[in-house]
Amino acid sequence: MNVLGIETSCDETAAAVVSEGRVVLSNIVFSQIHLHRPYGGVVPEVASRNHLASLEDVVARAVRQSGLGWAGLEALAVTYGPGLASSLLVGLSLAQALALRLCIPLIGINHLEAHIYSPLLTTLEPAWPDLCPMIALVASGGHTSLIHVAAPGKYRPLGWTLDDAAGEAFDKGAKLLGLDYPGGPSIDRLSQAGDPQYISFPRGRVRSSTASDLCFSFSGLKTALLYYLRAQATPPTADALAHIAASYQEAIVDALLDRLQLAVTRERVAHVAVVGGVALNSRLRQKLECLARAEGVQLLLPRPEYCSDNAAMIAGLAGSGQGITGPRAWTLDVQPNLEIGETQLCS
């Protein structure tokens, strides 16, 4: 099945065409990062207005580049949550109108479940059921959670963040350090020249009496950085800044790895997927390789273009048979707070 996917949940306007849930025929992403950079974060009003201005062209390019033309499309998949309500609305409205016009089925997709599917894009083998049960670490700008995937579409949350997401911790830390938005790539770059042991920042362990010990907490780390910077008599030199960034990054990476390792040992899975924008982090990727070797698990990492928000993962997940279809898809409303696994409860 050839599926056109549309994604507008945050600040990327994206469309893609994917065949058989795995073969990406086109993947167009218009990133709005440059439009939000002056504000140091995503401004919802700016995001939705720019989705509106660029989505039509992004979709037309994806269809053209796929080589299939409009007539070759067999279904239309769209993100209906979670994300910014006014941004989701732009994608969902266009998708509903377009699917009606093309007389093809509409499929509503959960953005986070699509991230979990992203490592499966581009290779036909192995089939998804053969990789299950697996554990997925979803680490993005808005979400951080550990999910047990018993089978395609069967999700069980193991741990989640009690405050900031990992990507948010990178973004807020970068702001304190005076680095560019988005903070993840800025800290990643600067840390290449830094010593990760320079400062020992807290790893945000959660006591099991308050929540699952597989949960995350990053707000204390951000405060620790703030207090460290305030306690310095003079602004850090360029060298010290690289050391501070590397130490801060190390604390986020270690927190993610610590909980992931615990989950892998407890659940005894053979496959681990790490997905979302933070999966681009070079230090995380380096340390994940070591964890995978030590634990004897196979690591599933998406290709870089499928880590950050894109529509190929939306079309791919729909092509694999997941998502909301049938009459319910036509009356679907946006769900800004949609959780992983909720799509299955609704469909």
Q: Whole-number minimum distance, CB 311 to ligand KG4, in Å?
A: 12
The option from Zn ion, ligand KG4, none interacting with 88 (CB < 5 to 8 A, set by class) reads none
The option from ligand KG4, Zn ion, none interacting with 263 (CB < 5 to 8 A, set by class) reads none
CA dist., res. 66 & res. 221, Å (int): 44
User: Under the criterion CB under 5 A, does residue 145 sit at the interface with Zn ion?
Assistant: no
Q: How many residues does the chain have?
A: 347
Within 10 angstroms of residue 267's Cβ, the number of other Cβ atoms is 17
Residue 104 or 274: which CB sits closer to ligand KG4?
A: 274
* Binding stretches for ligand KG4 (CB under 6 A): 10, 140-142, 167, 170-171, 182-185, 188, 276-278, 280-281, 308-309
Name the nearest CA neighbour of 222 among 280, 269, 171. 171
The option from ligand KG4, Zn ion, none interacting with 250 (CB < 5 to 8 A, set by class) reads none
CA dist., res. 33 & res. 114, Å (int): 21
The option from ligand KG4, Zn ion, none interacting with 183 (CB < 5 to 8 A, set by class) reads ligand KG4
User: Under the criterion CB under 5 A, does residue 140 sit at the interface with Zn ion?
Assistant: yes
The option from ligand KG4, Zn ion, none interacting with 21 (CB < 5 to 8 A, set by class) reads none
The option from ligand KG4, Zn ion, none interacting with 170 (CB < 5 to 8 A, set by class) reads ligand KG4
Q: Whole-number minimum distance, CB 85 to ligand KG4, in Å?
A: 15
299, 18 Cβ separation under 8 angstroms: no
User: Under the criterion CB under 5 A, does residue 250 sit at the interface with Zn ion?
Assistant: no
CA dist., res. 153 & res. 72, Å (int): 27
Give strand pairing partners of 4.
Answer: 17, 76
Q: Whole-number minimum distance, CB 306 to ligand KG4, in Å?
A: 10
Residue from 188, 250, 309, 339 in contact with Zn ion (CB under 5 A): 309
Residue 50 or 140: which CB sits closer to Zn ion?
A: 140
Instruction: Give 217-220 contacts, CB < 8 A, sequence gap 24+.
Output: 217/161, 217/162, 217/163, 218/144, 218/161, 218/163, 218/164, 218/165, 218/166, 218/168, 218/169, 218/252, 218/255, 219/163, 219/164
Residue 14 or 251: which CB sits closer to Zn ion?
A: 14
**Residue partners of 282: CB distance under 8 A and separation at least 6:** 188, 192
How far, in Å, are 6, 83, 93, 335, 338 from residue 342 at the CA level? 20, 14, 21, 10, 7
**Choices 138-146, 153-161, 232-240, 325-333 (CB under 5 A): range interacting with Zn ion:** 138-146
| Residues within the interface to Zn ion (CB under 5 A) | 140, 309
